[in-house]
Structure formats: structure tokens, C-alpha cells
Chains A and B, each alone.
Chain A
Amino acid sequence: MPDGKLILITGRSTKQGTGISTGKELAEYQEATTILELSRADMARFGLHEGDTVKLWSRFGEATVKCRPEDLPDGMAFMAFGSTINQLVGNETYASGMPDTKGLAIELEKIPA
């Protein structure tokens, strides 16, 4: 069962941006686009440590990623744009052409090491 609910924001990060040019198959890009950032309080709330694996769900899909603490508001998660996080993004664009890639409701569960 999921351990908690979060609001997911996806966006650009520097390493994700450089990886577009240097190669998405390289470790730096892969790492940049498969790490979920959480507030320190949320890391503690979920019993997580940096590098732990978590499973994420949205209404549209699921993904398994690593996590790390970052300077974020409690209840918010951030992840860089990429194919991993897009598994959680739905296809509905509400007559705009734009899917919801920010403000997405997700649930998180810690995966035991």
C-alpha cells in the first residue's frame, strides 16, 4: 500500500538539460531523470534515506525511482523531465494540447532494500 500522497512537479534541471546533448543513454542523464526530490521532512515521514528506492503511482501509471532530499515544500516532489516520470503523466489535455506535467497527484511507497 502507498505510504503517502504528494504533488509532483516535473521540470528542467541542469544535468537533464546537458544530457539532451551529451547523450540520454549516459549515466549522468539517466541519474538526473530517475531521481525523485523530496523535502527533508517528507523523507523522514516516509522513513527514507538518500538513494532509497521508491515506487510512485498516479492515475495513469507507475514508476520506480531513487530519491533524495532537496529544498522543497513539504508534500511536494520534483523530478526532471524524462521518459521515466512521463509514465505517470496522463494523456488528457483539456482541449489545450498540454498534458498535466506539473501539479500531478501521486502516491509513494518505499521499496525495502
Chain B
Amino acid sequence: MQVDNVVCAFCGCVCDDISVTVEAGRITQAKNACVLGKAWFLSHGQPSDRPAAMIDGQPADLDKAVDTAARFLAQARYPLIYGLSSTSCEAQRQAVALAEVLGGCIDCCTSVCHGPSGMALQGIGEPTCTLGEVKNRADLVIYWGSNPAESHPRHMARYAVTTKGMFIPRGRKDRTVVLIDVRPTPSARAADLFFQVKPGKDFELLWALRALVKGQVLDEVGLVGTGMTLAQLTDLAERMKRCRFGVLFLGQGLTQSRGKHLNTSAAFLLVRDLNSVTKFALVPMRGHGNVTGVDNVLGWQTGYPFGVNFSRGYPRFNPGEFTVVDVLSRGEADAALIVASDPVASLPGKARQRLTEVPTIALDTHESETTRIARVAFTTSTAGIHVEGTVYRMDNVPLHLRKVLPSPYSSDEEVLGRLLARVKELKPC
């Protein structure tokens, strides 16, 4: 059986043109998917013999596991809910409701990928556009601190570089592509211009570009050690001003380097400035398939996109205080619920150590380093393969996930809904 127009929920590109072949209860092909998407469809589209629930590493009855997990959470003084970037918005809504009932902290993978972009957005505003506008209009495409060839393999072909658009009839020939990074990644081969900048100098370069865009005179001396000359930077500023529609794709090279939200704020300000000269937009290169969705869900329900604390009965936002690395490494969280994420593999040592010291509950579609240390682990079905749902593409466009296979496992939404109901019984508001 072939199912067309299936949505891939692996990365922030959320490609919606995948043709999936299902044979004997498993996915055998994922036509149009990139290497990352194929791995996602083919791996998650296989039968699994994992127990639906485990307590302390032993198979357990689902009801018992729900009750045990709910008791851990209800008894905690500072429970943390984290992850949520690879599940549906419907599941994310349940997680936010649970955090509120618990009076706990809820954070998502945004805090360790594009949290600094969210902070810049709040301070400056977001001069943004959809990927459809990029496809149809963008004649200048800049990737800064991003390696789409490896992180978002179809981004260039489907949305931004080689694809033809309404006002870009010749596709690649009608666009100028610029890559700015600290190393020559595979993406550099697709660029017309590659600027190899020095690590930690992004802010200086973005600020210098702002000055050049505004027509101010700069001294070459100020750029020593940045990796770019004044002539190169002046040429780039002129290209930015001359283009009809420019887009700056922001990567983790800016968010994870020294400066963080100051780097992203400089980029947002540069793009804002450029809009007094031409049309320019900025789009963060969001990694996980629905990390943009969890920002949106948290935004609707709490007013904040990540790092939200309910301990006073109302939502508070403070990166560095209520964000996962900080809450865990300071030893504050005394129970953790991890949904569709593997922080034991992805967080720094002290933070992940804390997850082994407190009762950790994990919901995941497969075994991970986090499920292995979890006191209670639930195996859940995969949103976009076994269950329908909503995900948000990196440009904040929502897309509907299709179900292509049945699953013996409950969805994240169902397990979180059951945890919420049980916690309400144990901890009446």
C-alpha cells in the first residue's frame, strides 16, 4: 500500500510530500524523504516488542505505571517536565496542563537550541516570512551558523536554494546564496559566497553589518580577528540592500556560541534595519520536527515559549532560572517527566546526573539513554506514523500529521492525559 502526501516530523522542514510504502505492517519505503527522514520513517515504522510500560526496568501493567508515575510527580516539590519537541501539539497541550496542576516547571528543547532566538524575538519582534515566500520570492539567501546539508537536507532543494518560485523562475540561477560559518561544512559547496568567520565573532560582524547598512564608515582595524575583511563585509551589506527579497536563516552557530541571545538580537536588529531599505526576513533553523509547535503551544497557554514555572500558581518565564540545564544542574528538580526527548544523551554532565538522582519518568517511542535510567518508562506510538496530530514547521506553519500504521502503544497525548487525570485525583487543586 502506498500513502501519499505524508508529513515527515523528524526535522523543522516538516516536508509534506512523502510517499510511504507499507508492506506487511511495516514501512518499507519513504519516497522523497531525505536521509534523516528515511531513517525516521523506516525505523519508527517497524514492529516493536518493547513493553508498553516499565517500572525500574521491569515490564509493568500500564495502569500501575500511570499510578506510580503520577505519585512521583504529585509528591515532588519541584517537578520538571521537559522535552516535547518530537511529539504532537495535542500531547504538548496535555503536558502544559499537567505542569500547571503540579505547580512545576515546564521547559522544551528550545532552551538548548533556539532559546536565544526566542529571547531576541521577545525583545525586538520577529521580521519573518513563510518558507513559501522564500521559495517564491527570495533572491538573496543567507545561512548564518547553519549547516542545512546535514541538519535539514531538503531545506535548500525544497524551500530556499534550487527550487523555482513564482518570482524566481530559474530557481538557483535567480538566487545568491551566502554561507557564514566557522568551518567549511558540506553546505559551503552550495553557496556562491562562503565566509569563514572566527569562533565567537558573530556579534561583532552582525553589528558591523548594521553600521554598513546604515551607511556609516568603518575602520578595517575594528574587524581584525573576525575572519572577514571590510571589503567582504561591505560587499555583503550592499548585496543585502540591493536584493528584492532577502532571508537570513539563523543557525545554532549563533545561539550556542558565546553571546547567545546577544548574537541573535544583533541578527534580528540587522534584519529589522534592512526592512527600511528592502524586504528582508529572518527564520531560525529549528531542529526537531515539532519544536516550533511546543513554542506555540506554550505561548498560547502561558504567554512564554520555554522555561515556564507554575510554582506560584501562574506562569513565570526566566531563562537561566526555569530552563532545564539550570533547574537540573542546580539540583532543584526533585522529579522529572521527559517526553519525546533524550536529555541524558543531550544535556551537560551535571544536568543529566540529576536525572539519575530523582524519580525520572520517560515517554518515548523507543529505548533511549533516558528511558534506561527512568524509574517509569512508557513506550508510546509515533506522531505522524501511528497517530494523527498537529506539528509546526520552522516558519510557524501548522501541518496535519497522518496515520499510516496501527500501533499497540498509547500515544503521548493519551499517556499524558491519563497522568493528568491521576495527578488531579492525587493532588486536588
Which A residues fall within an 8 A CB radius of B? Answer: 7, 9-14, 17-25, 60-61, 71-73, 76, 78, 81-83, 86-87, 89-91, 93-103
Contacts and interface: CB of A to CB of B under 8 A. Distances in A.
B248 to A, nearest CB: 18
Contacts of B111: 97-98
Nearest to B345: A83
B345 A99 contact: no
B155 interface: no
Shortest 7 CB-CB contacts between residues of A and residues of B: A97-B323, A95-B320, A91-B329, A18-B39, A97-B319, A97-B111, A89-B348
Given A83-B344, A97-B111, A98-B111, A103 B306 contact: no
A14 B342 CA distance: 18
Interface string B149-162: 01101000000000
Given A86-B346, A89-B349, A100 B183 contact: no
B184 interface: yes
Interface of B: 10, 35-36, 39-40, 42-44, 107, 111-112, 115-116, 119, 147, 150-151, 153, 182-184, 196, 199-200, 252-253, 255-258, 260-261, 287, 306-307, 319-321, 323-326, 329, 342, 344-352, 366-369
Name A's interface SS. loop
A113 B124 CA distance: 54
Of listed A10, A61, A96, residue having the most chain B CB within 10 A: A96
12 contacts: A9-B199, A11-B252, A14-B36, A23-B367, A24-B368, A61-B349, A89-B349, A90-B348, A96-B319, A97-B324, A98-B115, A98-B260
A86 B147 contact: no
A39 B261 CA distance: 30
A63 B199 CA distance: 22
A62 to B, nearest CB: 10
Given A20-B342, A94-B320, A95-B320, 16 more contacts: A7-B199, A11-B252, A14-B35, A72-B183, A73-B182, A76-B182, A82-B345, A83-B345, A83-B369, A86-B345, A86-B352, A93-B323, A93-B325, A97-B325, A98-B323, A99-B347
Nearest to B186: A14
Given A11-B147, A73-B196, A98-B115, A21 B40 contact: yes
A100 B256 contact: yes
A102 B199 contact: yes
Contacts of A96: 115-116, 119, 260-261, 319-320, 323
Nearest to B115: A97
Given A17-B36, A76-B183, A102-B257, A91 B150 contact: no
Contact of A60 (B196, B306, B349): B349
Of listed A19, A72, A99, residue having the most chain B CB within 10 A: A99
A21 B340 CA distance: 12
A76 B115 CA distance: 25
A99 B319 contact: no
B303 to A, nearest CB: 17
A102 B320 contact: no
Contacts of A10: 256
A24 B369 contact: yes
B306 A97 contact: yes
A96 to B, nearest CB: 5
Contacts of B369: 24, 83
B150 A17 contact: yes
Of listed B36, B183, B307, B347, residue having the most chain A CB within 10 A: B183
A61 B352 CA distance: 14
Nearest to B107: A97
Contacts of A78: 183
